[in-house]
Amino acid sequence: MNSKKVNWVFLCLILLNLALYALMFICYAKGIALFDIGIVTNLLISQLIILSPAFLFMLASGKKTETGRLNEMLGFQKIKVSSFFMVLLFTFLIMPMSTALNAISMLFVDNTVNAISGDVLQMPFPVMLFMIGIFGPFCEEFVFRGIIFRGYKKSGSVFWAVFWSALLFGLMHLNFNQAAYAIALGIMFALLVEATGSLWSSMIAHMVFNSWQVCIMYLAEFIPTELVEPEMELTQDLLIMAIGPYLLIAAVATPLAVCVLIWLSKNEKREAWFCSICARRKEKKEAMVSIPLVIAIVLCLAVMSMEYIMALFAG
């Protein structure tokens, strides 16, 4: 799959999301409880929307879809046991960067994950661990690092494939809060795939990252209420105070994560290829940007801006 098909995949993904939003709005306006669904069904539908365009385009391509062919096309290559443990280390090293970017975005927009935390905590822990920590990352990595990133690589340099796949990964969330750190994570996950040569590495990292967040969410429920001030609000002053330490930690942890990437590339015997990413950034085979991609990006930014404006008025 090349960049042109990849751009169509992303546009279809966004159009499906917008169609669902429109249907939900119409049902809400008419008082129809059609979409009064639980968090599990909501998450399942969201991931199916991500997967379905990619599968349809894969089938429409007319190529064989045997296991061996899929492994070759998507990059499901084995990695060494030592690499597996270093991927775990890499995942925890990029968490401070994600937290810092999340906190910075919260100076301007609400935390989207916190908004659904109540619904999440009403469900059994194993169910949410699977849906958010396993199933979600598998679907997203399959599409964004398996199909979109590799599709862009066929059309141009790895440098721009990393950039565009990460940007689309961030925009896919359709809100400024998650987009702020999802783009950075998308870059790191794509570099991880390039360092190891395997999609399994980014899937493992993404699963560990999300599973850790789910665990933290549930563990927070066990904090004694007397240790928490019930009327304490997260003001901008408190956010700014929190951002400083996280930026300092991220300033140390993120370069260490890059060092882990370099180690992984050596361990998987991909050092020369990985280190040539920036050197080959001007390499072009065909244009990556096309009209479907521009339309999709404009739609994403429009939805995100509308959500931001509505939140301002609601506040």
pLDDT confidence of residue 230? 52
Measure the CA–CA gap between 97 and 92, rounded to whole angstroms: 10
SS3 for 157? coil
- 90 contacts 192 by C-beta, under 8 angstroms: yes
Return all residues near 56 (Cβ < 8 A) that are at least 6 apart.
12
36-90 residue pLDDT tens: 678 898 899 999 999 999 888 877 765 555 555 566 667 788 999 999 999 999 9
Decide: 204 and 88 in contact? Cβ < 8 Å.
Answer: yes
Residue 156 is predicted with a pLDDT of 74
Q: Where are the alpha helices (DSSP H) in 61-175?
A: 67-74, 81-105, 112-121, 125-128, 136-141, 149-155, 158-171
* pLDDT score, position 229: 54
> What 3-state DSSP class applies to 156?
strand
22 exposure class (CB count in 10 Å sphere: 0-12, 13-18, 19+): exposed
pLDDT of residue 100: 94
How do residues 162-180 score in pLDDT, each as one tens digit?
999 999 999 999 999 999 9
- Residue 34 in this model has a pLDDT that exceeds 80: no
Report how far residue 230's alpha carbon sits from residue 250's, in angstroms, rounded to the nearest whole number. 30
Q: Are 201 and 79 in contact (CB under 8 A)?
A: yes
Contacts of 265 (CB under 8 A, 6+ apart): 194, 195, 196, 271, 273, 274, 275
4-7: which pairs have CB atoms within 8 A and are 24 or more residues apart?
Answer: 4/155, 4/286, 4/290, 4/292, 5/57, 5/61, 5/151, 6/147, 6/148, 6/151, 6/152, 7/288, 7/289, 7/290, 7/292, 7/293, 7/296
- pLDDT band of residue 240 (cuts 50, 70, 90) is confident
- Per the DSSP assignment, residues forming a β-bridge with 156 are 284
